[in-house]
Structure 1
Amino acid sequence: MTHKIAILGASGYTGAELLRLIATHPSFEVAALAANSKAGMEMADVFPHLRHLDLPTLVTWEEIDWNGIDLCFCALPHKTSQEVIRELPRHLKIVDLSADFRLRDPEAYALWYGNPHAAVEMQGEAVYGLTEFYREKIRAARLVAGTGCNAATGQFALRPLIERGVIGLGDIILDLKCGVSGAGRSLKENLLHAELSEGTNAYGVGGTHRHLGEFDQEFTELAGREVRVQFTPHLLPMNRGILATAYVSGEAEAIHAAFAEAYADEPFLEVLPFGQTPSTHHVRGSNFCHIGVVGDRIAGRAIVVAALDNLTKGSSGQAVQNANLMLGEDETAGLMLAPCFP
């Protein structure tokens, strides 16, 4: 069965990544592409690497005829997504890649994103889009809220450990390195080549990064008590990829065993042999996440390292994975492409 797909925000990096993945999907057909700032342009002119694909001309989202379209990927900025999604027809299934429906509490959204929730009436139907942990709810959902890419990486590195009680909850430190594409495609002075290359910097220091809202929500619910991780992201001069290093208290072998058990049947989560750690090179352009565990020289401490591609498993690949479930397709459809190395 062919499913007709629309993408809003198709001129951004996540929009382009969606198209790259859908190009090899056996049952998705792109019926409409919207990018209000580039309406009237061809995708070949916006993203020349996609010129081999036969794609619709970009239009404004208001111009789309929704009749016959089964699912919409919304790759718009936060705040804009809420305003647009509330106007979309009710028959439409929606996967939102923005932050607008990730936080279940509208007050938490206002706190972390600095503006009031513009579609509170829809928040209750949104399902958090971390596929491996919300699979059954996603199957039945009309609206799925994609996770933050940093939030996804940190949760893959910590959720099984919190759930199984193999680590202490009061001293979790999460250090994260991410590529520049995670900041989006819009022009920013600090992302100019001369400003970014040959260096690295921490940002969102001291508990100000917005993805902490997701960690607080998900870890606290999982543990049944308040959990607050210490989290610092760093921006590296690489195009794509995230490497998360978690420092935890617990027995390293038991931690590794918890991952092996939790992820044994997960097609996209690879647990490395004990003592090995992953690289962003090993997951580039793929929907895989690699996880390694090493014991620390300090007894009772361990180090967990997780790597994924922020544009794929951290965003657009996750979105396609969720769309597959929502439309009754094989969860891995269009997503088994091997990482690109070197």
Structure 2
Amino acid sequence: MWSFSKIAGIIDNWLNQTFSPAIALTIEMVLVGVLVIGLFALLGLVLVIMERKVSAYMQIRLGPNRVGPKGMLQSLADTLKLMVKEGLTPKGADKFLFNLAPFVAMIGAMLVMAPIAFARNFQMWDLNIGVLYITAISSLSVIAILIAGWASNNKYSLLGAMRSGAQIVSYELSAGLSILAIVVLTGSLQLSDIINAQANGWWIFKGHIPVVVAFVIFLVTVTAETNRAPFDLAEAESELTAGFHTEYSGMKFALFFLAEYINVFIVCAIGATLFLGGWMPLHIGSWQGFNHVMDYIPSSLWFFGKTFFLIFVIMWFRWTFPRLRIDQLLNLEWKYLLPISMFNLLLITIMAIMGWHF
């Protein structure tokens, strides 16, 4: 299978031959940081235009079609607009925390990128507790939202932040149980082990109905955790003007806006890794001929194809379902998703012990 590992190996060998190990490691870390920032910028441009085009498709209209060929440069126009807008700090706001919150949101998103395998042998840090690391660091996003809501000195911002806190903390339980289902089947928290365990078939196919249930619950809960419609109560325009980022403008607003899309990409990448094999091609048992043909498709295309498919599904949710009330949102989690997740995890544990999966 083709991957970026050879390119990364060449760069690593050259740096170690040219510089001392400490300097080479420092340069590599800087290069990785620059690449992640570049990836964030590129994903922001791509996902914004994708959101506009998907919504237009769902509503049977054209969408943006003026800036660039078929409106493909609309994201650049939006970025330029946000860059030249003045960033204001409200009177009475906590200036330090108000300015800090957007950076906390972006830092959390950057940290979660570390253990994700974008292709075969191509990830920043193959951590042996990768799943635990992701679930822990992803919880930082709610801190940024709470800081932004409180520091803005605005009642709508504070109400939106409190809603978001209740929402994210609640739905993290079911999301964690869905992720734990794959950990139980694999027997490892390391993402590379989870991907390798799917060499003869993805867990969505090998794990029978319980894994399909876990996958559906995962999609619902991560949609809620990223504050996407129909769970966007933290920024409900009809009730809270813009929610926790009401007082933000210019690049500070752009950072929150970008962090939301980056988080959507991250949760979809995690879902693709856990349930759909990550970069692993579609392999079916002992079908050697079929598996060999699938291996010719680059591993990075498998990863990004699965991830963007899940992103499309989450965008599909936004333009299909109406927004829930806060009581409906919490009832859905505590009365339905959490009990189902707990019972489903028990079934998967029994299935793993008995070896009933493929």
| Interval containing the TM-score (normalised by the shorter chain) | under 0.3
The structure whose RCO (Cα within 8 Å, separation 6+) is larger is 2
Structure 1 or 2: more strand by fraction: 1
Structure 1 or 2: more helix by fraction: 2
Structure-1-length-normalised TM-score: 0.25
Structure-2-length-normalised TM-score: 0.24
Work out which of the two has the higher radius of gyration on C-alpha atoms and give 1 or 2. Answer: 2
